[in-house]
């Protein structure tokens, strides 16, 4: 990785970090908070590579010994804290890999950096063990914690760290990136971007796995033939989402896109503003059949179904209520 320029979005965070480097006001402890796949690890790597670069500046030179060691994951002044058991980082692991190790000065650079991935798994004892190190760290130490849930940290930890929250990246930026990286048709890239919710990692996973096309075709099949299928058949069709790396409520997002496309076309008559461009004829037909009120009720039913599934309401019951509204075209 060459540096911050390769990271899509997160401009405010990039500016914060580069400003800290240029002004020599790098904090002793950071929390990078954002959902999995949002780019926290890439940002940490770019930050550390820049911070330790022998030529200084706000971007790495990619030529010095430190940069080359970063590229080969072999920089002696960078420590990735690991944990043996899934779902927990123990007090012994923190004491051995971080607390004790901070007493040893950097090997070559002016700083020594510790990166704790999946830091939400730090148990209370582990957090308390590292508290003094965060309160009174050696001048050369910087600690970066990567987490998908900063609420798992003790307040005493949070108050002593700079927390940077990773927000969703603009869908257009994600789609452009997917087109360039994966050589994917625009409509598929836009679906990946939309479905990822601005998460570049998730969009790449969908694009590289070829899943987006499979999900799209299955959903279109369900939507086009829903009038000819009974409720149990429709529910069974949705259960096939388990073969993809998506949850049932994420699968429902594709239904939402379809009905929002119909509503968008009905309101604007502009095919350029819809996601399912290749299905424009079907969308036009549906826009003539379903009323504005019906579309709003269907979209509301889909949103309710997502919330119910997230709340662990019975799957069959949730799907039955959702499909009843769809089959009735939103009529009361």
- The domain limits of the chain are 4-165, 210-327
Mean pLDDT of 184-188: 78
* CA–CA gap between residue 140 and residue 159 (Å, rounded): 20
Edge to edge, the sheet with strand 78-81 lists: 78-81, 112-116, 141-147, 29-33, 162-165
pLDDT score, position 332: 57
Question: Residues with Cβ < 8 Å from 47, sequence gap 6 or more?
Answer: 4, 17, 144
Mean pLDDT, to the nearest integer, of 265-276? 86
User: For 72-122, how does the pLDDT look when each residue is reduced to its tens digit (9 = 90+)?
Assistant: 999 999 999 999 888 899 999 999 999 999 999 999 989 999 999 999 999
The pTM of the full predicted model, rounded to 2 decimals, is 0.73
Is 4-165's fold the same as 210-327's? no
- pLDDT at position 256 is 87
| CATH domain 210-327 topology | Zinc Finger, Delta Prime; domain 3 (1.20.272)
Q: Which fold has domain 4-165?
A: Rossmann fold (3.40.50)
């Amino acid at each position: 990785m060459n540096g911050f320029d390769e990271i899509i979005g997160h401009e405010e965070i990039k500016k914060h970090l580069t400003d800290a480097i240029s002004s020599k006001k790098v904090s002793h402890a950071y929390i990078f908070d954002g959902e999995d796949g949002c780019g926290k690890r890439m940002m940490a790597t770019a930050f550390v590579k820049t911070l330790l670069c022998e030529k200084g500046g706000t971007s790495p030179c990619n030529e010095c010994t430190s940069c080359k060691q970063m590229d080969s994951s072999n920089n002696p002044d960078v420590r990735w804290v690991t944990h043996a058991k899934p779902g927990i980082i123990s007090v012994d692991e923190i004491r051995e890999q971080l607390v004790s190790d901070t007493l040893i000065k950097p090997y070559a650079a002016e700083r020594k950096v510790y990166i704790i991935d999946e830091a939400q798994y730090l148990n209370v004892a582990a957090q308390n063990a590292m508290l003094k190190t965060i309160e009174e760290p050696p001048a050369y130490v910087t600690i970066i914690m990567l987490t998908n849930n900063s609420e798992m940290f003790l307040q005493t930890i949070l108050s002593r760290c700079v927390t940077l929250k990773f927000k969703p990246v603009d869908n257009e930026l994600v789609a452009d990136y997917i087109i360039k990286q994966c050589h994917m048709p625009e409509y598929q890239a836009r679906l990946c971007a939309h479905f990822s919710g601005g998460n570049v990692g998730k969009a790449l996973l969908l694009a590289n796995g070829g899943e987006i096309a499979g999900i799209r075709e299955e959903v279109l099949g369900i939507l086009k033939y829903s009038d000819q299928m009974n409720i149990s058949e429709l529910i069974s069709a949705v259960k096939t989402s388990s073969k993809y790396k998506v949850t049932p409520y994420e699968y429902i997002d594709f239904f939402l896109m379809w009905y929002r496309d119909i509503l968008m076309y009905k309101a604007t008559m502009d095919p350029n503003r819809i996601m399912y461009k290749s299905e424009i004829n079907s969308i036009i037909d549906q826009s003539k059949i379903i009323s504005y009120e019906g579309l709003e009720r269907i979209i509301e039913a889909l949103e309710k179904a997502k919330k119910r599934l997230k709340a662990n309401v019975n799957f069959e019951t949730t799907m039955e209520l959702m499909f009843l509204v769809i089959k009735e075209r939103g009529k009361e």
